[in-house]
Amino acid sequence: MKVAAIQMVSTPDVHENMATAKRLLQAAAQQGAQLLLLPEYWPLMGMNETDKLAIAEQPGHGQLQSFLSDMAQTLGVTIIGGSIPLISDVEGKVLNTTLVYQADGKTSGRYDKMHLFGFRKGDESYEESRTISAGDQVVVVETAAGRVGLAICYDLRFPELFRAMGQCNLIVVPSAFTYTTGEAHWEILLRARAIENHCYILASAQGGKHVNGRRTWGHSMLIDPWGKVIDEVAEGEGVVCGDIDLQFIENVRTSLPALQHRKLTSSLG
């Protein structure tokens, strides 16, 4: 099964971003991809961190969710919708949510980002918890590619989340890594998660200089269970594409059965 990750450089204009996402999703489908992944914050990289509150939607309603549903139906593919803001129970905060849409346009999974990014270095500072409420559920969905685990960006630094997903064929990581942290850690962490979980990792990123002055690292990529980067887009808009080889997953798990050798499981405390 062929999968694709979309890389964007999103702006403060929602409609502009929707048009870009549509064009890139169409391009990915034309390459034969059947599962398409958008990046984190694809609908909006606002001028202020509170801008996302104005476009937050109720689950099941809104232009962003309709767009994702319509694109899945029109292209006849599974779309994992990066992240969009959904209304939370906390005033002044949203949920940073990944929604999965099957080819019939219906949702088959929802994941609310659990780990909220915080970073300070010199003049660079981020604190997602000021405007985002954290989720608390590990989510895996069934697709034509088998079990797919859902994670978002900063989740990548918490290997216990990936372990909690159980055995997956693919784990997706829509992201908006900063240039600073991405340059240092992005590929290392992605390849580690693929190797230690014996699965493919598909990571879609924001990648470039944004209107709001922020610079994101990009380097969207597909990585196989042996840790090899199959395809990558460094910076700017683009599409990463490649095949999920179920036999290769089985070969890796058979030849190096590390998951069966684990000792420090949750049952041992």
235 in active site: no
Catalytic residue among 57, 93, 153, 232: 153
Locate 141 and state its tokens.
């969905």
The residues that bridge with 153 in the sheet, in sequence order, are none
241 in active site: no
The secondary structure of 74-122, three-state, reads HHCCEEECCCEEEECCCCCCEEEEEEEECCCCCEEEEEECCCCCEEEEC
Buried b (16+ CB within 10 A) or exposed e, 20-37: bbeebbebbbeeebbbbb
Catalytic residue among 40, 57, 128, 235: 40
E strand or H helix at 64: helix 63-75
Residue 217: which region, alpha, beta or left (left: phi > 0; alpha: psi -120 to 50)?
alpha
113 in active site: yes
Catalytic residue among 93, 113, 168, 199: 113
Residues marked as catalytic? 40, 113, 153
